[in-house]
Amino acid sequence: MNHALRRVSLVCLAMFLLLLVNANYVQGFEAGKLADGPGNGRTFALQYQYQRGSIVTSDNVTVAESKHIGGVYSYQRSYPAGSTYAPVTGYDSPYNKTGIEGAEDKLLAGADPRLAVRNLIDLVTGKPRKGATVQLTVNSVAQQAAYKALKATGLPGGAVAIDPKTGGILALASYPSFNPNKLATLNGNALNQADKKYLNSPQQPLLNRAINETFPPGSTFKIVTSSAAFSSGKYTPDSRYYAPTNLKLPGTTHELINFDNSPCNDGSNPTGTGKVPLIFAFTVSCNTVFGGLGQHLGGANPDYTAYSAIGQYNDTVTPLQEAMFAAAIANHGTLMHPYLVQKVIAPNLSTLVVTVPSRLSRTVSPAVAGQVSRMMADVVAQPYGTAHSMVANLGGITVAGKTGTAQNGANNTGLDDAVFTGFAPVANPRIAVGVVVKGGGLGADASAPVAAAIIKAYMNYLNSSPKR
């Protein structure tokens, strides 16, 4: 009997020790995880007892803030401009955070270790905890122009504007968009309805087309092909290159043609059997010239290289990457790291974080960038350039750019996507843009006007602001 009791006692002791070890492990190593878990009702309620920090633009327009509402929860998130800034701010819902709300959550919530001393002082002095303010690189004028112009097309699309000298993102817009206020509600039923509506919408309003959807770049990729050609040292913008009306692709029965199957004719090539300067071919966007140039430069099977050289086949980019094309050329071949957060300011107005611009890569030499810039300027300035029509909407601002009309879908049966990338002013670039309008047709018809609206709005802001 004593032997059996001893065994039971040992088992009970072992179980007690396991429980003790588990309790200490949870408190020592799992406390943070459990505290931050979505099922923690105390943490859930606590996050709405403190005022979350605001999100503001570079020109100090508030685009996200916490408003005092009283009741069980003291504060609720509010987005004054709603859908215009939704791709940037994201949303702060009771169960999820996206965009800047998610990326800078700890600073906005006041839970970042860099705010620990500030929080301790507030605790001692009886002040409520408050989150830090996140200031974006986004300019409110450029952002509003981007969203308004995209919305006016009535088609899905994305637009991004960058400061080519720093990499700071001046605008990042997507259409269709969503109203983040609907997802910030503290009413569970209303939240579920809004969430279901957005998730099931065929328009996909939650998809950030500026950075999360890729499109064929079309003829804007001729910027890359030209850069490769000039970097080889064998070509200049004035080099004459074979310009057939139809370019036969080796190993296939396919032929590459120009728009409307017309010859690439600068006046010296009416039959499509001669040569034209590369700058002319770029300005009027001759596919056969750049397809042939791509074949000669190499890199893959010649037939597929010809398609890739004009931004077709399997080439894909985001509107952000389109803007980076132009930004690199505008900045003499140096591509800067794109960034959205300019600085973070503590509740006592001290600066916690300042983003220092940094170089991402040296894409081409300054000489090559200058050559490509010269060709991009002609695309807009020359009467025969594919983007010359945008001049009327620029108010005298000089722009260097490249249009693209990208075929897509199985056997190119989808509606053409309209693409544009460019920078302004030509002599002293302050803004680079990338625009894609899905199903917009010709780049000059749908995307170039969007780019013109963004450029004009931002340059007018710079010229009218005493701080600039």
Biggest CA–CA distance in the chain, Å, is 113
The CB-side HSE value for 263 (13 A sphere, CA atoms) comes to 15
pLDDT of the residue at 37: 59
The neighbour count for residue 200, using CB atoms within 10 Å, is 8
Query: How large is the average pLDDT for residues 363-376?
Result: 98
Lowest-confidence pick of 159-163, 195-199, 221-225, 413-417: 413-417
Cβ atoms of residues 243 and 286 within 8 Å = yes
Cβ atoms of residues 186 and 348 within 8 Å = no
Q: How many residues does the chain have?
A: 468
Please check the confidence at residue 468 and state whether its pLDDT lies above 70.
Answer: no
Query: How large is the average pLDDT for residues 361-388?
Result: 97
Q: Please give the positions annotated as active site.
A: 219
Report the DSSP beta bridge partners of residue 283. Answer: none
d(CA 288, CA 294): 10
pLDDT of the residue at 400: 98
Query: How large is the average pLDDT for residues 153-177?
Result: 98
Cβ atoms of residues 215 and 417 within 8 Å = yes
d(CA 84, CA 88): 9
Among 168, 88, 161, smallest CA distance to 336 is for 168
- What's the pTM? 0.88
Structure tokens at 6: 């001893």
The pLDDT > 70 percentage for the chain reads: 91
pLDDT of the residue at 301: 72
- Reported as type and span, the H/E element at residue 85 is none
pLDDT tens column, 256-271: 899 888 999 999 999 9
Please check the confidence at residue 410 and state whether its pLDDT lies above 50.
Answer: no
Cβ atoms of residues 84 and 109 within 8 Å = no
Cβ atoms of residues 404 and 311 within 8 Å = yes
pLDDT of the residue at 36: 58
Cβ atoms of residues 172 and 88 within 8 Å = yes
Cβ atoms of residues 158 and 417 within 8 Å = no
Please check the confidence at residue 33 and state whether its pLDDT lies above 70.
Answer: no
Query: How large is the average pLDDT for residues 410-428?
Result: 82
Cβ atoms of residues 65 and 54 within 8 Å = yes
Average pLDDT across the chain, whole number: 90
